[in-house]
Structure 1
């Protein structure tokens, strides 16, 4: 792992079959809990990709990667590999995996949808002043800024380790166009996190973490190549 933080992008239309054999019983049970087959498939793809990449980094079989679940339901790598942190997020079309050797990391992605209207969700995500500004905007502009703010707040909350158990209205994130920033979060102690936009024309996305310095390169995950390498470790 040559970079402190890796970002891997997965397109579900190109992902192929899930390798259920490398997932552990907890992951399979979580997948089976989904009502819709598409949701089960996306979960399986994301966790297959995660295990395949961690397998490469840890030089161990994918099914042997020691992933446990800690406080607030956040998964982590146990044992000798505990210096690696990871986080995953997916929308209907796209998944992102963030893997860090530089402290905790959080990532979030949401599809852009021109037909959507997020007006009713604004007050649940943004504090009073932010929400008032968003409500005054025309729909398409409001939608764009909402997705920027939503993904950035989610990435920060996931890097803190609580997800949205941390009230997103308790901290602010910039709504500027693509860039990088420093965000201060109190939960319960003050933490300073770097926040970097990863958006594209098709999706809004962001990554947050203590060890981020520059915008990580977003790389396409190649299942065939990674699966072949992971198979040689068994």
Structure 2
């Protein structure tokens, strides 16, 4: 697995299909990741977290040509992970919603991804008014009621992908103005590009990356890609 300049590599995974390998993925995790997994109240959430992180390490190991458990992360003030290897030009980001995981990789440019399950919201209007800018809120209001959840989560994923790429938290949702277009979206900071992704049915997803004219390639994680062979140094 190799990355080319100006290419964004997107990987999709249905975590349920990797459930038989849970013990193997758990063994890849660092002590702090295993401790984080224990904070989840429900077994399902705990298992999805371990699978998502184990798959992340497996994919990174393919790019870096190392074993998954040897990878070390550093974290930004807002909790965004990055490789601790100062010589590495590989940037990545991860998101998961229920049983679906999304991974983004690029060279020399910060990247953010987000996936959300489209679902009814008890107070969609209130949430949109609270977190979105007036132009975005007005757009949602003008959308037919049956389409409002989809429009809401389209805005949300673009915003969160952008803020994750920037290393900011959700407190910045109100600062990133998004303009939805027929082919995707634009953010008010024109130094960044937003791209829609083709996620599993019932979900919406996006990637944000600094710069322009990126080629986005999407693939599904296969088992032979996810788990490196033991002879990888």
Q: For residues 210 and 139 of structure 1, what CA distance do their matches in structure 2 show? A: 34
Is 1:99 equivalent to 2:100 in the alignment?
A: no
Q: Secondary structure of 1:82's match?
A: coil
Aligned CA RMSD, in angstroms, stands at 2.1
Map 1:25-174 → 2, pairs under 5 A: 25-113=31-119, 115-116=120-121, 118-166=124-172, 168-174=173-179
Residues 1:96 and 1:23: Cα distance change in structure 2 (over 3 Å) = same
Residues 1:198 and 1:41: Cα distance change in structure 2 (over 3 Å) = same
- In structure 2, the residue matched to 1:209 is 209
Q: For residues 56 and 102 of structure 1, what CA distance do their matches in structure 2 show? A: 18
* 1:175 to partner: Cα distance: 2.1
* 1:98 to partner: Cα distance: 0.7
* 1:128 to partner: Cα distance: 2.1
| Structure 1: segments with no counterpart, 5+ residues | 186-190
Question: 2:186·2:193 contact (CA, 8 Å) conserved in 1?
Answer: yes
Residues 1:52 and 1:81: Cα distance change in structure 2 (over 3 Å) = farther
- TM-score when normalising by structure 2: 0.87
- In structure 2, the residue matched to 1:188 is none
Q: Secondary structure of 2:179's match?
A: coil
Residues 1:170 and 1:216: Cα distance change in structure 2 (over 3 Å) = same
- In structure 2, the residue matched to 1:219 is 219
Q: For residues 45 and 87 of structure 1, what CA distance do their matches in structure 2 show? A: 15
Q: For residues 181 and 225 of structure 2, what CA distance do their matches in structure 1 show? A: 37
Q: For residues 131 and 74 of structure 1, what CA distance do their matches in structure 2 show? A: 28
CA offsets, 1:88-125, max 9 Å, x none? 11111311011121310000011123x44533321122
CA offsets, 1:6-56, max 9 Å, x none? 111011232223211110011111111111111111111111111011111
Q: Secondary structure of 1:204's match?
A: strand
Question: 2:9·2:217 contact (CA, 8 Å) conserved in 1?
Answer: yes
- In structure 2, the residue matched to 1:2 is 3
Residues 1:123 and 1:40: Cα distance change in structure 2 (over 3 Å) = same
- TM-score when normalising by structure 1: 0.87
Q: Secondary structure of 1:135's match?
A: helix
Question: 1:24·1:63 contact (CA, 8 Å) conserved in 2?
Answer: yes
